[in-house]
A and B are shown apart, each in its own frame.
Chain A
Amino acid sequence: MSVDTKWTYDENYVREYSQNRGEPEWLTEQRVTAIRLADELNLPKPEKTNIKTWNFTEFKHEPGELSAIDSVDELHEDVQKLIDRSTEEQNLIVFRDGKPIYRTGSDHLQEQGVLFLDIETAAREHSDLLKKYFMGSAVDVDEHRLTALHVALLNGGIFIYVPKNVTVESPLQTIYWQDDPEMGLFNHVIIAAEDNSEVTYLENYASFNREQSAAANIISEVYVGQNAKVSYGAVDHFEKGVTTYVNRRGRVERDGYLEWALGQMNEGNTVSDNTTVLQGDGSKADTKAVSIGRGDQSQNFWTDIIHYGKNSVGHILTHGVMKDHASSIFNGVTEIKHGGTKADGQQTERVLMLSERARGDANPILLIDEDDVTAGHAASVGRVDPMQMFYMMSRGISRTEAERLIIHGFLAPVVNELPIQAVKERLTEVIERKVY
């Protein structure tokens, strides 16, 4: 690796950092190995997007003194808006610069044996269980420099464990709030849903400072056991200065079901990898993602479902809106491996262009090694239909309002999937703000 910036993170640093956090030795060793790998490995090479000059390496790694708060009222007002205060039964952890500062949760979770813990605590108190899943079969530390950096510098995240046959009734929600504008977030999410279990998880990434530059490096691992069901919702909204690498991976066993609803609304440059492996027979994944590109931001989305299981079903729906000079590449990938007979892989990518100067590419990729399957794709890049516009305006609706309705309608397939009303409203607001 060519070091073109001051790089202060070395083996000694990560070892000491890990020990200060009271981490088990296996984790310390993984960090040390990872920082060595980070030196050797290259950046990933996302299709059609050059990320070589993006800032993945300049940030603050440790936050200043942060103390826990007792009430939601002490949070940033935009963070407060993410919280649904109308319900009593609420399982929520708010992170500020990687540290958990606020939590509410029902005792019921504990009685059920469900773990919903920040990753630092999980490492200390449930080391063996965490080790079983951390950087497990869904993702490898040595995929490229960013996966390695992630492990080496991990500084926040959540561990969710749902035992066999347990259904978690109300959603588990996290808010990852970057408060210090220079803070780098190396956030790790693990959801382990054992056989026949069910859980809904919803996360929000947020920052509010538009100027300073920082990086976010996020990995999620979702393990869906046999006949288990996981619904994973996300709203990403980092401000302009934050360069994001986000990698959300899932692995689904026999008859399991993984549902993704991703609102990818970052304002800064973003590389996103969302890959689901349908390992077991009869496993299913449903991926829905929306994004808006504006200003001069550049984004690259890789949305992939890999079928190994017979009769596995994978559906991808991606909708993107492009404004200003923004550029986004949407890669939709359906892979059906040998043995995945009777698999069904479908994908749709739609891009709505609101500006002549924006770029939006929809690339459907089908890699099919098996004959006896059904696979299909649809991709389109288009503008607002003048007939739709005429129709709406003929009812008195102004051009601006008509366009607004059309855009919200275009993004509705994902917005409507989000499980928490407050977050749905928040995403709608973010969309509103990004488009006008």
Chain B
Amino acid sequence: MAGSTLKIQDLHVEIDGSEIIKGLDLEINGGEIHAIMGPNGTGKSTLASAIMGHPRYDITQGSVYLDGKDVLEMEVDERAHAGMFLAMQYPSEISGVTNSDFMRSAINSGREEGDEISLMKFIKKMDSKMDELEIDQSFSQRYLNEGFSGGEKKRNEILQLLMLEPRIAILDEIDSGLDIDALKVVSKGINSIKSPDFGCLIITHYQRLLNYITPDKVHVMMQGRVVKSGGAELAQRLEDEGYDWIKEELGIEDEKVGEQA
């Protein structure tokens, strides 16, 4: 089966009555890697969270479809079952629940009753993915993200990505706080699941991650919209010249949302 398609059209998102995303269009197909870049405060995390169904965001206009199915009608867990995944910029800490128990519940939630993954198979898979990401074995018995360093949290998000094998993944600032070695490991992990069945949206405000993962398309976000799109070369130009030339080109004074009024 070919990959999935996530289609976002004219999306408007509000939080506490103020509009953060102001009409955004984006289409991601299986086999493609997209990058959204943009300075802080331009609405990138809002976009990612809203697509996944974060309860605090109101979608006031527009649509999100996954293979023709209305994502906005789905509960958060249904979106995951439909094949979506969000690596969060700030993952929650959950005390008393081990990484391993959490992962097993997550995997089994997508399976029929009676068809749960066997404990042996699960452990084997988790061990091999942890090895791949150079994560210590003790990790699986630690409580979910509790007391994890920034870097450990990011690796854990990628571990979950590799375990759950979604069809469309959104990775929100997966590179922030990582040193260069960790960045390489995480990139390797992401590259390992590249396939025609896997579509990915990488959100970042640095270009450096894109040295390791080559995007097919790069979008620049400002003021809650995609203001410019291009290929991998766009990311390179942003790295070399920053964002000012885009602001000049488009006549944008302040790229942040909600502060231009």
Contact = CB atoms under 8 A, between A and B. Distances in A.
Contacts of A365: none
A397 B55 CA distance: 16
A395 B80 CA distance: 6
Please give me the 6 A-B residue pairs with the lowest Cβ-Cβ distance, nearest first.
A409-B96, A412-B96, A396-B80, A393-B76, A395-B106, A409-B97
A408 B96 contact: yes
Interface stretch (A69-77, A124-132, A204-212, A383-391): A383-391
A391 to B, nearest CB: 4
Interface string B89-128: 0011011110001100110011000000000000000000
B256 interface: no
A186 B112 CA distance: 49
Interface of B: 52-56, 75-77, 79-81, 85-86, 88, 91-92, 94-97, 101-102, 105-106, 109-110, 143, 160, 164
A406 B102 CA distance: 10
A384 to B, nearest CB: 11
Q: Size range of the interface on A?
A: 20 to 34
B92 A396 contact: no
A130 to B, nearest CB: 41
Given A394-B79, A396-B110, A401 B105 contact: yes
Contacts of A405: 94, 97, 101-102, 105
A398 interface: yes
Instruction: Classify the secondary structure of B's interface with A.
Output: mixed
Contact of B77 (A388, A396, A408, A411): A396
A410 interface: yes
A398 B111 CA distance: 12
B109 A398 contact: yes
Contacts of A389: 55
B77 A399 contact: yes
A392 interface: yes
A411 B95 CA distance: 9
A38 B226 CA distance: 79
A382 to B, nearest CB: 13
Contact of A388 (B80, B94, B143): B94
B220 to A, nearest CB: 26
Interface in A198-220: none
Interface of A: 385-399, 401, 405-406, 408-413
B86 A394 contact: yes
A123 B211 CA distance: 80
A241 to B, nearest CB: 32
Contacts, number: 81
A393 B75 contact: yes
Nearest to A390: B54
A403 to B, nearest CB: 12
Nearest to A407: B96
B95 A410 contact: yes
Given A396-B80, A397-B77, A391 B110 contact: no
B97 A393 contact: no
A411 B94 CA distance: 12
A207 B91 CA distance: 43
Q: Which of B52, B91, B102 has the most CB of A within 10 A?
A: B102
A385 B86 CA distance: 18
Contacts of A412: 95-97
B89 to A, nearest CB: 12
A409 B88 CA distance: 21
A128 B102 CA distance: 55
B167 to A, nearest CB: 13
A385 B102 CA distance: 17
Nearest to B101: A405
A396 B164 contact: yes
A224 B109 CA distance: 48
B94 A392 contact: yes
Contact of B52 (A394, A398, A406): A394
Contacts of A406: 94, 97
A417 to B, nearest CB: 12
Given A386-B55, A398-B109, A409-B143, A393 B94 contact: no
A413 to B, nearest CB: 7
B96 A391 contact: no
B76 A413 contact: no
B81 A396 contact: yes
A273 B80 CA distance: 47
A401 B77 CA distance: 11
A393 B86 CA distance: 11
B97 A394 contact: no
